[in-house]
């Protein structure tokens, strides 16, 4: 990672990648794995790396314009208050909105419920040259659906392999899938919910149902563990990003996206016209 100011001691993709020994209940959500700088350095670095992300996204977009079908998809999951919205604003906010296909997945509509759960997901997949962002995703169908038993266990139980196969097809057809689980601690969630109840400018974010979900914390931990165990694959791995320190989570996700985009080894599309001839035409105009 060539940066002028750099607090990283190991690449984010290595330290955050889920392994067979990852236990979500044991993740230190306040830690800053692989980064030994403080908030000030992290924030300064975010600006610099955000510019790099933006340049890479423009490359992707430019290639998409000449028919490159490849894309990058960021899948964001996390408990309420984990900061998915902040990632969208402060990380994705660095890039040209024209090049972003953003989709947020809430409770399915009646129409969506009449279809297979991947129907609405397929419709929202990024087009060639786009950076896709899923704020919640098909994983809700093995998270909230499992915790609340919205379908029988054999139905949600079959979905893990179905999701692995689905993502395999995505990778086959040129989508780099970056799956991020934002890990917030239970104490930090309480602080963030308390802030929503203290500040009038945060009331709009407060949802009474968040406390009901909070009471199911161990069930969600178990459901998230199953997701990591059963859907983190070589081709579409999960990354667990501690997010009690928002600045770290934003920096880490930026690095993961830069890494994914650099992996495409893109270069600027060649001119599809005679450059010299066009220069002459312009001069004479
Ligand atoms: P946030 O993601 O920050 O909570 P929000 O409150 O604006 O954003 P909503 O439109 O309320 O978002 O949707 C989020 C809710 O939808 C979550 O409680 C989530 O668990 C639920 N949800 C998402 N997908 C499904 C699904 N497939 N089945 C049932 N509920 C789902």
**How many Å apart are CA 234 and CA 44, to the nearest integer?**
32
- Does residue 225 register a pLDDT over 70? yes
Best of 83, 85, 107 to mutate for ligand 1, by most ligand atoms within 8 A of CB? 107
Asked if residue 23 is part of any domain, the answer here is no
Interior/surface letters 210-231, b for 16+ CB within 10 angstroms, e for the rest: beebbeeeeebbebbebbbeeb
Task: Determine, yes or no, domain membership for 273.
Answer: no
Asked whether 130 and 64 are in contact (CB, 8 A), the reply is yes
pLDDT in tens, 142-181: 999 999 999 999 999 999 999 999 999 999 999 999 999 9
Centroid of ligand 1 to alpha carbon of 176 (angstroms)? 24
26-76 pLDDT, tens digit per residue, is: 999 999 999 999 999 999 999 999 999 999 999 999 999 999 999 999 999
Q: Best of 81, 134, 140 to mutate for ligand 1, by most ligand atoms within 8 A of CB?
A: 140
In a domain, 254, yes or no: yes
The token pair that represents 57 in the structure block: 């996204």
Domain enclosing residue 187, as ranges: 39-265
Residue 2 has pLDDT above 60, yes or no: no
Number of compact structural domains in the chain: 1
| pLDDT of 1 higher than 70 | no
Looking up residue 200, the CATH number of its domain turns out to be 3.40.50.300
Bigger pLDDT: 1 vs 135: 135
For residue 20, pLDDT beyond 70: yes
Q: Sorting pLDDT into bands at 50, 70 and 90, what band is 5?
A: low
Three-state SS string across 63-107, please?
HHHCCCCCEEEEEEEECCCCCHHHHHHHCHHHCCHHHEEEEECCC
- Note the pTM of the prediction, 2 decimals: 0.96
Gap between the Cα atoms of 157 and 153, Å rounded:
6
8 belongs to a structural domain:
no
Q: Is residue 279 part of a domain?
A: no
Any domain includes 271: no
Question: What is the Cα Rg of the chain in Å?
Answer: 20
Phi, psi angles (nearest 5°) of residue 278: -70, -35
pLDDT of residue 6: 83
Q: Whose CA is nearest to atom 20 of ligand 1?
A: 144
Q: How many CA atoms lie within 13 A of 14 on its CB side?
A: 7
Is pLDDT of 4 > 80?
A: no
Task: State which ligand 1 atom lies nearest to the alpha carbon of 135.
Answer: 2
Residue 11 lies in a domain: no
pLDDT tens-digit series, residues 174-215:
999 999 999 999 999 999 999 999 999 999 999 999 999 999
Confidence at residue 3, expressed as pLDDT on a 0 to 100 scale: 47
Please list every protein residue whose CB sits less than 6 Å from any atom of ligand 1.
80, 84, 105-108, 136, 140-141, 144-145, 150, 207
- Tokens for 71, please give them: 């894309």
How many angstroms does the Cα of residue 83 sit away from the middle of ligand 1?
Answer: 14
Q: Tell me the β-bridge partners of 229.
A: none
- Report if residue 18 sits inside a domain: no
């Amino acid at each position: 990672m060539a940066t002028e100011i750099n607090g990283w001691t190991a690449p984010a993709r290595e330290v955050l990648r889920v392994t067979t020994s990852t236990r979500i209940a044991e993740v230190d959500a306040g830690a800053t794995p692989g980064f030994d700088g403080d908030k000030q350095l992290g924030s300064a670095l975010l600006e610099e790396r955000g510019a790099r992300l933006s340049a890479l996204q423009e490359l992707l977009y430019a290639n998409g314009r000449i028919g490159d079908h490849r894309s990058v998809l960021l899948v964001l999951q996390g408990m309420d208050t984990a900061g998915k919205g902040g990632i969208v604003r402060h990380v994705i906010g660095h890039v040209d909105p024209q090049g972003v296909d953003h989709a947020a997945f809430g409770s399915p509509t009646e129409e969506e419920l009449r279809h297979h759960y991947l129907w609405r997901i397929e419709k929202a997949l990024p087009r060639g040259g786009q950076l896709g962002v899923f704020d919640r995703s098909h994983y809700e169908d093995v998270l909230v659906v499992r915790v609340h038993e919205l379908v029988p266990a054999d139905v949600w139980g079959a979905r893990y392999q179905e999701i692995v196969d689905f993502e395999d097809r995505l990778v086959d057809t040129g989508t780099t899938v970056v799956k991020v689980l934002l890990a917030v601690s239970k104490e930090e969630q309480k602080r963030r919910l308390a802030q929503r109840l203290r500040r009038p400018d945060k009331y709009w974010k407060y949802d009474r149902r968040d406390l009901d979900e909070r009471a199911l914390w161990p069930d969600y931990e178990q459901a998230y563990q199953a997701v990591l165990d059963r859907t983190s694959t070589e081709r579409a791995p999960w990354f667990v990003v501690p997010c009690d320190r928002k600045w770290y989570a934003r920096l880490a996700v930026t690095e993961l996206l830069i890494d994914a985009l650099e992996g495409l080894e893109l270069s600027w599309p060649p001119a599809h016209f005679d450059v010299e001839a066009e220069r002459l035409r312009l001069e004479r105009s």
